[in-house]
Structure 1
Amino acid sequence: MWKTRIPCSETRNTLSATTLLLYAAACFSVTVLPGPTMLLALSNGTTGRTRIVAAGIAGAALSDLLLIGAVALGLGAALAASEVLFQTVKWLGVAYLCWLSVVLWRSQPETLRVVAFEGDAQARSALQRAFRRSLLVALSNPKGLLFFSAFLPQFIDTTQPQWPQYVLLALVTAALDVVVMACYAAGGVQIARHLREVALRRLNRLCASVLSSFAVLLAVYGRDRT
């Protein structure tokens, strides 16, 4: 991975454009790969509801900010050092992914569509659920925190104030996540337009199966596999 050292006169307590471009390119290559949050974005897109898609994207973006903030505070290093903490977070993540896959498997296309007004309780509940799912999927997976702990320091200039750099990288990460999830959601919208109810139900179950596969992979994941 790249390690960029920029003279103080050029950084002005922030990162250079070259470093940001390198980080954005590397981060995008990881973000664009299908993962649990991207599958949720695809599923949200099949509802055809812009607000549900936006709520899910907001949850994922917030998770990026929280995870990178945790890395800046040293929680990633603590997770890597503590077997008990790592196993606790890991199995919470496994349990949540399993539960989410069951919910998605049992869901029907009609129940994913929210036809409601601004003040409707069902609409608010659907928005909160979409936001919470995307947020918790990322936060309950220790791989995300360990990944950022190993990945971000490669782009931090330790001779300069580090908090502004972490904030900037967090914003870039969140922005990339928003763009990629919006693309997945747009794909879900197109799928919903061309598939019938039975096919959409099968798509839900396919996504549920993939989520359960992620749960299995997380269950066998160890701290030494970074």
Structure 2
Amino acid sequence: MGFDVWSLYLVSIFLVIMIPGPLSLFMVSNSVNYGIFRSYPAFLGGTAASSLYLAVSATGLGVIITSSDYLFMMLKIIGAVYLIYLGFITIKVSIKKITGSQNSLESSGSPKFNSLFKKSFLLGASNPKDIIFFMAFLPQFISSEKPLADQIFIIVMTWILVDLFCKLLYGLLAKSIKPMLNTQKSKSIFDRLTGALYIIAGIAAVSII
């Protein structure tokens, strides 16, 4: 991959990754509740999911998945159900906060790595349509005249670095709005809105299946 092609790829994926979605909302929500540094497992989980889809698409396995209507449909349904489930859980936790039956997330200490990483990974993996996007997107930056393994390595590593950088930007955005959420009630409202958006995204995903 030449420098000019890599530069174009770099700019393209930055614009793609920065488009807001459920995973971006998850990053903002966790950064508000835990802070940027304690939210790093969520950053890693989301990046791992997208990098996995990227690698699957680049190696041709994406063709197998998308060619099976049943398999692809099942992945889409699972993803939509998980979004709705996450939305209800988020709203449930926000209600507990406001009623005082649960301490605030920040006061409960650092979140468990496995919990945040798993939620973020599943959220990132809940959209198998990324495979179709990558299958259409990657060929533009891969040359048949150069070793495929080297190009895939550069493509995946660049994606990981840019993805983490973009997630950090969303974390900084969360830090900027955090002063407006300085009460338990305002945090609870924010979490309810977040949960509602997850549910809407899940229902929207189901409606287009």
Q: Which residue of 2 aligns with 1:89?
A: 75
The equivalent position to 1:209 in structure 2, one of 192, 196, 206, is 196
Query: Which consecutive unaligned segments of at least 5 residues does structure 1 have?
Result: 1-14, 117-122
The equivalent position to 1:113 in structure 2, one of 106, 123, 132, is 106
The answer to whether residue 56 in structure 2 is matched with residue 63 in structure 1 is no
User: Is the contact made by 1:63 and 1:135 (CA closer than 8 Å) also made in structure 2?
Assistant: yes
Q: Which residue of 2 aligns with 1:119?
A: none
The answer to whether residue 162 in structure 2 is matched with residue 176 in structure 1 is yes
1:115 and 1:50, CA in 2 relative to 1: closer, same or farther beyond 3 A?
Answer: farther
CA shift, 1:51, in A, is 4.4
CA shift, 1:111, in A, is 4.2
CA RMSD between the two structures:
1.8
Within a 5 Å distance, the mapping from 1:46-195 to structure 2 comes to 46-108=32-94, 110-113=103-106, 115-116=108-109, 123=110, 126-195=112-181
CA shift, 1:39, in A, is 0.6
**Identity over the aligned pairs, expressed in percent?**
24
Query: Which consecutive unaligned segments of at least 5 residues does structure 2 have?
Result: 98-102
Cα distance between partner residues in 2 of 1:216 and 1:77? 26
Out of 45-54 and 145-154, give the one that drifted further: 45-54
Write out per-residue CA displacement over residues 175-210 of structure 1, whole angstroms, 9 at most, x where no aligned residue: 111111111122222322332221111111111122
User: Is the contact made by 1:68 and 1:166 (CA closer than 8 Å) also made in structure 2?
Assistant: no
User: Is the contact made by 1:47 and 1:112 (CA closer than 8 Å) also made in structure 2?
Assistant: yes
More helix by share: 2
- Aligned to 2:33, the other structure's residue is in SS state coil
How many residues align? The count is: 201
1:114 and 1:163, CA in 2 relative to 1: closer, same or farther beyond 3 A?
Answer: farther
Out of 86-95 and 103-112, give the one that drifted further: 103-112
Q: What TM-score, normalized by structure 1, do the two folds share?
A: 0.82
Q: What TM-score, normalized by structure 2, do the two folds share?
A: 0.88
Cα distance between partner residues in 1 of 2:175 and 2:156? 28
